[in-house]
Amino acid sequence: MKKVSLWLVILVITVSMVAVFSLNGCKKEAAPAEEEAAPAEEAAAGEQFITIHWAQWAPADYLEKLSKGFTTETGIKVTVEQTPWETFVQKYNTEMIAHSDAWDIIVGDSQDIGNMAVNGHYVDLTDWIIEHGVDKTFTPASLTYFAEYPKGAGKYYAVPCEGDGLAWAYRKDLFGDPDNMAAFESEYGYELGVPTSWDMLKDVAEFFHDPDNGFYGVAIYGDNGYDSLAMFAEQCIWSFGGELGDYSTYEVDGLLNSEGAIAGIEYYYDLFKFVPPGFGGAFYLETNDAFVSGIVPMSCNYLAFFPGLANEETNPYAADTGYFACPPQKGPDGVERQFAALGGQGASVVTYSKKQDLAFKWLEWFVKPETQLEWARLGGYTCNAEVLASDEFLSFTPYNPTFKKTMEIFKDWWACPEYDELLRTFSEDIANYVVAGNGTAEEALNKCVEDWEEIFGAAGYYD
């Protein structure tokens, strides 16, 4: 998941996160309030140790468990200090502004890497990444979006740690039902199956949509108070041939409101007609809930929340649940593209750490293929290309093949320091059309172009 610096928003959605992680088996038992920011245990005199800061969830537990192997090899102890999601980004931003050496590594949000790099809080890892071959062993997309800033500059400030992205779950029993298959082919002129395009996905949603009987066509994000709607919208824009803008020049006019971008947002509006009632406020919790409640045939969510769909204790349809990556789509220009919205975090060395030498030893160990395979085995999401392609990885879970494909097609939001302002205005402008039904897609995107140009202008990018 991505965290923005709109702290009130984060606080509100975190109430839902507790329920989500209980559902999908990914949530660590919450610590009492007075223990939330408890510091790492002090090491014994002369003992070497490092402290990693991450959000409070199961992957952080996996990382601490994984790091026991590093301690066995080196004698260097590793503590993963966890902060609840509602204060995670706020806490590490506050500590970095104060030049704190409380942590040696931060597993921070991909969107925040520009802020951390520009303000000097993260060590430049460019030479280290090239020296250790990380640029050759990790997927190019993961390096670009988890590690690089500015995009395309070849400067790296993180090592991809927890990969994630939006993908789909579907009911294999419904898709494979002979009556459904016959009825679908009769109505649409081709076979019902896993969508091979966004156009086909909409046909499938329309076919299954039966609100009179409490069944709906699809579960997708609709909440505009966080990055949910924005993340779903951006992958529609990219798939139909649009862009959020030029990440190097900050040009948005003609890109964000291009023919392809307009087509993508019009598609989002049309698909949103087939969601369950109340999905104008839906995020990852509601999409999972709709699926396990048996009221939709397919849903889109971050892969981080798929463990709950594969678990028979939390999903009564687990045995009949299949998974697929965001499909390709031909845009108005006739060119086929395939993209998914990114989630996840990279591991960065803190500039103010007094144990950078030990932090680099940990990174060197973490990027090894054998460590990455064990990371995936424990439940982490690797971005190592060799591990992603291995038969062992692909067999770990029923959705790992989908994860591998998603890691090859994802793109990310703006990573500049103003990303949260861009996110807020985009979400408001697009929701006004997609959810509220006001105006047109072109009008919504033109409004967003105006908002973004004002933000970039105030930041001095056009000087």
pLDDT in tens, 285-309: 999 999 999 999 999 999 988 989 9
Is there a single domain that holds both residue 156 and residue 13? yes
Query: Is 144 inside any structural domain?
Result: yes
pLDDT digits (tens, 9 = 90+) for 428-450: 999 999 999 999 999 999 999 99
Predicted pLDDT at 44 = 55
Q: How many domains does the chain have?
A: 2
Is there a single domain that holds both residue 347 and residue 337? no
Is there a single domain that holds both residue 376 and residue 406? yes
Residue 278 has pLDDT above 80, yes or no: yes
Is there a single domain that holds both residue 21 and residue 133? yes
Predicted pLDDT at 86 = 77
pLDDT digits (tens, 9 = 90+) for 192-225: 999 999 999 999 999 999 999 999 999 999 998 7
Q: What share of the chain is helix, strand, coil (3-state, %, to 5)?
A: 50, 15, 35
- Over residues 95-110, the mean pLDDT reads 96
pLDDT digits (tens, 9 = 90+) for 52-87: 999 988 889 999 999 999 999 999 999 999 998 778
Q: What is the chain's Cα-based Rg?
A: 22
Is there a single domain that holds both residue 188 and residue 328? yes
Mean of all residue pLDDT scores within the chain? 90
Pairing of strands 321-325, 410-411: unpaired
User: 340 vs 93, 410, 453, CA distance in Å?
Assistant: 28, 4, 25
Is there a single domain that holds both residue 244 and residue 322? yes
- 434: Cβ contacts below 8 Å, ≥ 6 apart: 222, 229, 233, 265, 268, 269, 272, 444
pLDDT digits (tens, 9 = 90+) for 248-257: 999 999 999 9
Is there a single domain that holds both residue 374 and residue 272? no
Residue 14 has pLDDT above 60, yes or no: no
Query: Is 256 inside any structural domain?
Result: yes
Confidence of residue 89 (pLDDT cuts 50, 70, 90): confident
Helices (H), 256-355: 259-271, 284-292, 307-310
Query: Is 429 inside any structural domain?
Result: no
Predicted pLDDT at 21 = 38
Rounded Cα distance between 378 and 310, Å, is 16
Rounded Cα distance between 321 and 146, Å, is 30
Is there a single domain that holds both residue 212 and residue 80? no
Please state the separation of Cα 339 from the chain's center in Å. Answer: 13
- 113: Cβ contacts below 8 Å, ≥ 6 apart: 122, 146, 147, 149, 157, 158, 346, 348, 415
Predicted pLDDT at 362 = 98
pLDDT digits (tens, 9 = 90+) for 321-365: 999 999 999 999 999 999 999 989 999 999 999 999 999 999 999
- Render 12-27 in DSSP notation, one character per residue: HHHHHHHHHHHHHT-P
**Residue whose token pair is 């997609």:** 434
Query: Is 136 inside any structural domain?
Result: yes
pLDDT digits (tens, 9 = 90+) for 391-419: 999 999 999 999 999 998 999 999 999 98
- Render 307-320 in DSSP notation, one character per residue: HHHH-TTT-TTGGG
Predicted pLDDT at 124 = 98
Q: Output the pTM of the full model.
A: 0.85
Share of the chain above pLDDT 70, in %: 90
- Over residues 140-169, the mean pLDDT reads 94
Residue 4 has pLDDT above 70, yes or no: no
CATH number for the domain spanning 66: value is 3.40.190.10
Peptide bond into 211 cis (omega under 30): no
Give the range of the structural domain holding residue 256, as residue numbers without chain letter: 166-341
Is there a single domain that holds both residue 150 and residue 19? yes
Pairing of strands 336-337, 329-330: antiparallel
Is there a single domain that holds both residue 271 and residue 214? yes
